[in-house]
Structure 1
């Protein structure tokens, strides 16, 4: 009806629906003329975090040698719960740390979009800590632990906290991460990356397991306070699928074949943390 075609003529002229690619998400219901779903459609799998998700197909009427273009917008439902890259996080904080000092907390990822995506963080625990959420230039929310009251290792050697991430669905979905703070002695220097931004260009056919680049941070402290460990600051599906960061060396290696036509650049954020809990961050741009 929408295409001004006669229902009775569709069967006689041989009409069918064809989608791009291997997956055929839609079909033509011959008796009613309705466009119907032929497979389960997962918006997050098809479009990841894109604000608009549109699938395109064609109705081909073989008898007339005509093709009619059809666009189907896939709208989001709240079918994903915010998930932390780390469900448990251990922090080591010196008892001499001044109040107001901030420490990065695990970030949560919700592949839904709009109001169904991640909306807020909340922290429960004790009076020594509070939560601050920073908004990045990319619109992401970055949770940070703020020392609100001076620590005393003799009074309490550990503090147990619970970080919650909630989306805006109805009802809202909530993910949690446990934060365990160990109170230690002083650490004077934080790690420092050799540069704030690392940039590298690689061909799309670079072999899997290749080292794309290495990040380097130094810490002049001795012992564990000078030992630097590397990690990704923000864990997304693209990061965990394609890249491995060696925690001891800072080497970033390729886990899966790249495809320029699928995606031509990646922006990563890495963190260098020493044994005393101090850290530095740097950005990595892979083209």
Structure 2
């Protein structure tokens, strides 16, 4: 009985080693290519036959084909020429947004040899987008009592390209009252501030027209512009002030759509129409303005869509309170999405 057990254990070990060897023999070194985005359909990516060390006729004779891991096939294998080519134009921003590396992975299967070759194609960025503003005209209302040196945050431009191909700088048209200051957020996004250099006089010049230009440093350089309309206000000398500069809230990712997360509150020391406060979400390009909604009267922040921890772990939302004549104060809302056990393990089998 003991001898039979040893024999069976030894047989199982031999079978396991054989299967492991067979599996390892099917996997080979990874092949890697790099191509720029927006290439024409049918553009050459690489010589698969040469890189696999096969003759051209072997590709068709041995049943070489692409096994894609995604829903959409971006590449095709020409078994006559041995070339890997693009199926259509590839938009890097559509596939990978602003991730530093954009990689497409698939396998080449040689059927009669039962061999799988892993292929990785890096899609590099080209300067195919210009910086753009959400609105063509930005409007500011500034009291004539505002002190020189006061800063006004302007809407950021957005450029989905990367590095030097993305937004790099802003420029303000020449004028006598304002200058421009450019700062960067922690995540690297650059945003402009309008700085008042000389006192405004409503009786002398009630309206100022400025042009804000955003540029990248790609090849060639692209730019976008927005008009700034500055309306000078007479007499309102107090801006709304929020009860706290930063509001924080932790939200489970499974809260239903339409849930109220928190309420912001700001007060204005003026009287009458100058003390009436309305709330606005500062809309910057991206998903935030599509996921949350701020009630302009009550200051309640509610969800427009379902949250997903796996998609985004936190959101920073800038909110603005304006009084009756346009003075404003700002605060920030930090929403942390709490992970829930809502995903099952996923197994992929080729």
Q: CA deviation at 1:277?
A: 2.3
Q: 1:108 is matched with which residue?
A: 157
Q: Which has the higher helix share?
A: 2
Q: For 1:264, which of 313, 325, 339 is the aligned residue? A: 313
CA distance in 2, matches of 1:32, 1:258: 48
Q: Whose radius of gyration is greater, 1 or 2?
A: 2
Instruction: Give the alignment's TM-score, normalised by structure 2.
Output: 0.75
Q: 1:46 is matched with which residue?
A: 95
For the Cα contact (< 8 Å) 1:125–1:160, is it kept in 2?
Answer: no
Number of paired residues?
287
Q: List runs of 5+ in structure 1 lacking aligned partners.
A: none
2:302 is the alignment partner of 1:253: yes
Between the two structures, name the one with larger relative contact order (CA 8 Å, sep ≥ 6).
1
Query: Structure 2 matches for 1:1-287, cutoff 5 A?
Result: 1-233=50-282, 235-274=284-323, 275-287=325-337
After the TM superposition, which of the residue ranges 215-224 and 89-98 deviates more from structure 2?
A: 215-224
Q: Please tell me the root mean square deviation across aligned C-alpha atoms, in Å.
A: 2.2
Change (3 A) 1:256 1:34: farther
Q: CA deviation at 1:134?
A: 1.9
Change (3 A) 1:76 1:191: same
SS of alignment partner, residue 108 of structure 1: coil
Q: CA deviation at 1:22?
A: 1.3
Change (3 A) 1:262 1:32: farther
Q: Summarize deviations over 1:83-118 as a string: whole Å, max 9, x none.
A: 112321111111111111111111111111110100
After the TM superposition, which of the residue ranges 34-43 and 250-259 deviates more from structure 2?
A: 250-259
Change (3 A) 1:192 1:7: farther
For the Cα contact (< 8 Å) 1:270–1:284, is it kept in 2?
Answer: no
Q: Which has the higher strand share?
A: 1
SS of alignment partner, residue 36 of structure 1: strand
Q: CA deviation at 1:125?
A: 4.8
Q: List runs of 5+ in structure 2 lacking aligned partners.
A: 1-49, 338-350
Instruction: Give the alignment's TM-score, normalised by structure 1.
Output: 0.90
Structure 1 moving runs of 4+ over 4 Å: none
For the Cα contact (< 8 Å) 1:19–1:26, is it kept in 2?
Answer: no
